[in-house]
Amino acid sequence: MDKSKRKVVIAGNWKMNMTPSEAKAAVAETAALTDSMTGCDVVLCVPFVDIAAAVEAAKGTNVKIGAQNVHFEAKGAFTGEISASMLLECGVEYVIIGHSERRQYFGETDETVNLRTKAALAAGLKVILCLGEIKEERLAGITDEVVAMQTKLDLAGISADDMKNVIIAYEPVWAIGTGLTATPDQADETCGVIRATLAKLYGADLADATVIQYGGSMNDGNAAELLSKVNVDGGLIGGASLVPAKFAKIVEAAQA
Ligand code: PEP
């Protein structure tokens, strides 16, 4: 396994936080703190209404801007939804798809995650595809089966060529926003199961080249150890990404 084939990606997920003026200030501060840290890619996934302010503030810096969801249809009567081409034209480069909060509270399924992923890739966006087990599944000892199945279903019909623009975020649902973190070994092991599933689907070279992040209460205190694991190629960070100084410390931990 050659970790050097993959560039670490540290992405923040702001969820439903920050007004546009707050976003402008937070992106500028994050950029100023992380601009010399070029050993990883830095992404902030912001609410739709913050995109314009965030893209403007990130111009000329190392910070890239992402969205937190995208609809699978190109246009039409889908009130409240946003298409991939709308995001692209606004300067968005990345989009989170299948976050557990979308799956839990908004009826997202592996089928719609797959459709959204295809639409985003076809439009030219990079996808951060989230998957992970719930607490009962981990306790029942079926984590490996669950993440392997989600990987297969969420990526059904996606070509090896398109996989260049897919990052997978392994996010155990029980660790998101709870303060509970998977141990570095648990994170490594389950990211490894996802990588082995990718190897079965696409071959070992592609599996070795795919970025797999860990997400779930990653913070400035635990990031270095999680990121040191061979199968963990970065982080998707919720709470700690809202505070630029804390987020910058995680980016710093990814420079090693
Ligand atoms: C997330 O929203 O993807 C996440 C991992 O949140 P937190 O870091 O707050 O657990």
172 lines ligand 1 (CB under 6 A): no
The response to whether residue 132 sits with its C-beta less than 6 Å from ligand 1 reads no
**Angstrom distances, CA of residue 124 to CA of 52, 189, 251:** 19, 31, 26
Q: Is the CB of 236 inside a 6 Å radius of any atom of ligand 1?
A: yes
Residues present in the chain in total: 256
Active site residues: 99, 171
- Would you state the pLDDT for residue 234? 97
Token pair recorded at residue 24: 């402008």
Indicate whether 4 pLDDT > 90: no
CB 167 within 8 A of CB 127: yes
Closest protein CA for atom 6 of ligand 1? 238
User: Looking at residue 177, what is its pLDDT?
Assistant: 87
CB-CB contact of 51 with 92 (8 Å): yes
Taking only the tens place, the pLDDT of each residue in 105-114 is 999 999 999 9
pTM of the model: 0.98
Mean pLDDT value across residues 156-160: 98
**Banded pLDDT at 1 (limits 50, 70, 90):** low
pLDDT of 54 over the 90 cut: yes
- Mean pLDDT estimate for the chain: 97
Tens digit of each residue's pLDDT (9 = 90 or more) over 165-199: 999 999 999 999 898 889 999 999 999 999 999 99
| % residues pLDDT > 90 (the chain) | 96
Cα-based torsion angle of the residue sequence 47, 50, 54, 55 in order, rounded to the nearest 10 degrees: 90
- The stretch 199-206 carries a mean pLDDT of 98
Report the share of the chain in percent with pLDDT over 70: 100
Nearest ligand 1 atom to the CA of 99 is 3
Q: What is the pLDDT of residue 256?
A: 72
Token pair 């009567």: residue: 77
Residue pLDDT, tens place only, 121-156:
999 999 999 999 999 999 999 999 999 999 999 999
Reply yes or no on whether the pLDDT at 224 is more than 70: yes
Question: Ligand 1 centre and the CA of 235: distance in Å?
Answer: 9
With a 6 A CB cut-off, is 238 part of the ligand 1 pocket? yes
For ligand 1, the distance from its centroid to the CA atom of residue 99, given in whole angstroms, is: 9
Domain ranges for the chain: 3-253
DSSP the chain: --GGGS--EEEEE--S---HHHHHHHHHHHHHHHTT-TTSEEEEE--GGGHHHHHHHHTTSSEEEEES---SSSSSS-TT---HHHHHHTT--EEEES-HHHHHHS---HHHHHHHHHHHHHHT-EEEEEE---HHHHHTT-HHHHHHHHHHHHTTT--TTGGGGEEEEE--GGGTTSS----HHHHHHHHHHHHHHHHHHH-HHHHHHS-EEEESS--TTTHHHHHTSTT--EEEESGGGGSHHHHHHHHHHTT-
The CATH code of domain 3-253 reads 3.20.20.70
Distance CA 15, CA 12 (A): 9
| pLDDT the model gives residue 117 | 98
What does the pLDDT read at residue 15?
98
Ligand 1 center from residue 226 Cα (angstroms): 14
**Which pLDDT belongs to residue 202?**
98
